[in-house]
Amino acid sequence: MNVLVLNAGSSSLKFQLIATDPAAITADKDVRLCRGQINRLGGEVVIEVLMRDGLRKKFAASTRDMQASLEHLMQWIASDASGIGEIRALSDVNAVGHRVVHGGELFGESKLITDEVLKGIEDCIELAPLHNPNNIKGILAARQVFGPKLPQVAVFDTSFHHSIPEHAYLYAIPYHLYRRHRIRRYGFHGTSHRYVSERYRRLRGISREQTNVITMHLGNGCSAAAIRGGECIDTSMGMTPLEGLVMGTRSGDLDPAIVGLIATKESLSPSETEALLNTQSGLLGISGLSNDMRVLQEELEGHDDRRVRLAIEVFCYRARKYVGAFLAAMGGSDAVVFTGGIGENSADVRARICTGLEWAGLKVDEKRNQQTVGSEGQISTDDSSLHAFVIPTDEELLIARDTVRCVLGEPHFSRSESPSTADGKRL
Ligand code: AMP
């Protein structure tokens, strides 16, 4: 099956075209035909495509909205100009898989999109007002471009966290606020946490029940997940993706009283204060320089700037503290798995997080750590009792595989799958 994976945002539409089916999934033989993104939606769009041979193509289109731009992209993909032999017409696309940010309490697994499912995604808009409306736009655009008969599947960022027990997802605020406004921890990055935990399981040759890991997704957004017996039992992100670890521009955890204090002292409205915590905080806020870890590390090496050092230290300390908390929550873990742009590429950040976890049995193998950059592997010593691994995430592959399984009506696809190889880099 040729599956088009879509991730619709406010000004961009990311896509990947993946050829996969049950046999390919079992044999890890999924083929990535192309990937890329449509940028500057709302203005005249620019389409960037990375072909499977590594060639990059970039072209402008005179379309502005998502539907027309997707149509333009698909026409190009189906034309001789693209050179993608598998897609000669729109009908060569067999299904579309969508990343949907919030499934609330409604969706504990990926779903074939029906009008009822679409209504459920709409019901979750108040939980993710910035994301779900764009995801819905992507679904409707694909419906227009491919016709209503083409199967479409929603894969939710929140689904993997559905197994979190009540005592871990409830906030200690009046219970009626949970009932009335659904205020609770939902967690995000679920597709990534699920992918790397299942890949870890495959690497170690163990069953789902034997999978006890802490997964650390460290990218622009950062979150940790405690996975016991293959199921997520806690995660660092909460009602929104603002809680938890320090991120590029997000504060992560803070004393809730600070919110009102900032609003009063700085004469900001509640939404302006929330925006400050989302867009001007984290690594950027502390360093005053950048939200980009690579830039900060280069600056640290070059000039040893005090605030840059502090930003990295706060980032790594918070991450280590969560590992410790989750070790306690899980009653011990077999491994810490790093993923995301920072987790996959920064040996220095990984070493800083793991240093101080020797008491828990984690000893980093310096050479392995330095050598594992953008690739998969163990970075702990063989005699560690708590191991550390790097596993590049591949959310699109998981979405494509879930799409295939939903379309074929295979049961239990969301929790029993063992996806594997990530053969490429994110664009
Ligand atoms: P993501 O959101 O997963 O794409 O991750 C983006 C983050 O990864 C940014 O903070 C980048 O600076 C960081 N990153 C990517 N490559 C490196 C690297 N080689 N060293 C340190 N940070 C990196």
CA 161 – CA 409 distance, rounded (Å):
22
Determine which helix (DSSP H) or strand (DSSP E) holds 13, and give its type and residue range. strand 13-19
Q: How many CA atoms lie within 13 A of 305 on its CB side?
A: 16
CA 234 – CA 227 distance, rounded (Å):
7
pLDDT digits (tens, 9 = 90+) for 203-232: 999 999 999 999 999 999 999 999 999 999
Query: What is the value of pTM for the model shown?
Result: 0.94
pLDDT bucket at 421, cuts 50 / 70 / 90: very low
Index of the ligand 1 atom closest to the CA of residue 283: 10
CA 331 – CA 228 distance, rounded (Å):
9
Q: Which residues pair with 156 in a beta bridge?
A: 100
Task: Determine if ligand 1 sits within 6 Å of the CB of residue 294.
Answer: yes
pLDDT digits (tens, 9 = 90+) for 21-46: 999 998 989 999 999 999 999 988 99
Task: Determine if ligand 1 sits within 6 Å of the CB of residue 247.
Answer: no
pLDDT digits (tens, 9 = 90+) for 150-170: 999 999 999 999 999 999 999
CA 327 – CA 227 distance, rounded (Å):
10
Give me ligand 1 centre to Cα 312, in Å. 13
pLDDT digits (tens, 9 = 90+) for 71-126: 999 999 999 999 999 999 999 999 999 999 999 999 999 999 999 999 999 999 98
CA 296 – CA 311 distance, rounded (Å):
9
Task: Determine if ligand 1 sits within 6 Å of the CB of residue 425.
Answer: no
Give me ligand 1 centre to Cα 425, in Å. 12
What is the set of active-site residues? 157
Q: Which domains does the chain have, with CATH numbers?
A: 2-156+395-424 (3.30.420.40), 207-390 (3.30.420.40)
Mean pLDDT, the chain, whole residue set = 94
